[in-house]
């Protein structure tokens, strides 16, 4: 599922490291399943200061989109953030990803700004 969200991920072993307790980020991973099959996930952290719950990654299998799975993952993620003492919840998406922006807005996020990142080899 992570490879679907982040094609070309250079750290495929992170999932195993996370579940062995060897890495600190993300702080939590929630999964959605149907009939024993994983159909979505949310990776969560707390960004400081101030303590803000953050949806680092959010993915639902295309066959299960627009059926409430993403909304349920976000609601559970918000509950997790509240339990961490957070009073706000944030997320981001790439500027060209209009489907993700629409999904975020559909579950109650408000767009704050758009950002372009630059790099320059040295």
**Burial of 5: CB neighbours in 10 Å, binned 0-12, 13-18, 19+:** middle
Q: Which residues contact 6 (CB under 8 A, 6 or more apart)?
A: 57
27-85 pLDDT, tens digit each: 999 999 999 999 999 999 999 989 999 999 999 999 999 999 999 999 999 999 999 99
Inform me whether the pLDDT recorded for 7 exceeds 90. Answer: no
Q: Please report the pLDDT score of residue 4 as a whole number.
A: 86
Least confident span in 18-27, 37-46, 112-121: 18-27
Q: Which residues contact 10 (CB under 8 A, 6 or more apart)?
A: none
Q: What percent of the chain has pLDDT over 70?
A: 97
| Mean pLDDT for the stretch of residues 100-108 | 96
Q: Which of 38, 10, 14 is nearest to 26 (CA)?
A: 14
Q: Please report the pLDDT score of residue 5 as a whole number.
A: 85
CB atoms within 10 A of CB 83: 10
Residue 104, CA distances (Å) to 21, 23, 39, 73 in order: 29, 27, 18, 12
Q: Which CATH class is domain 2-106?
A: alpha beta
- Strands (DSSP E) found in the chain: 28-34, 37-47, 52-60, 89-91
91 and 74 Cβ atoms separated by less than 8 Å: no
Q: Please report the pLDDT score of residue 10 as a whole number.
A: 65
The secondary structure element, H or E, covering residue 13 is none
Inform me whether the pLDDT recorded for 94 exceeds 70. Answer: yes
């Amino acid at each position: 599922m992570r490879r679907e969200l982040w094609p070309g991920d250079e750290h495929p072993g992170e999932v195993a490291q996370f579940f062995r307790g060897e890495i600190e980020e993300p702080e939590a991973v929630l999964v959605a399943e149907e009939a024993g099959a994983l159909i979505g996930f949310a990776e969560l952290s707390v960004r400081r200061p101030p303590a803000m719950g953050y949806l680092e990654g959010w993915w639902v299998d295309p066959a299960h989109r627009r059926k409430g799975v993403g909304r349920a993952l976000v609601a559970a993620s918000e509950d997790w953030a509240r339990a961490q003492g957070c009073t706000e919840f944030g997320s981001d998406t790439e500027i060209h990803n209009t489907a993700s922006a629409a999904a975020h807005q559909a579950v109650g996020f408000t767009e704050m700004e758009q950002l372009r990142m630059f790099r320059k080899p040295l």
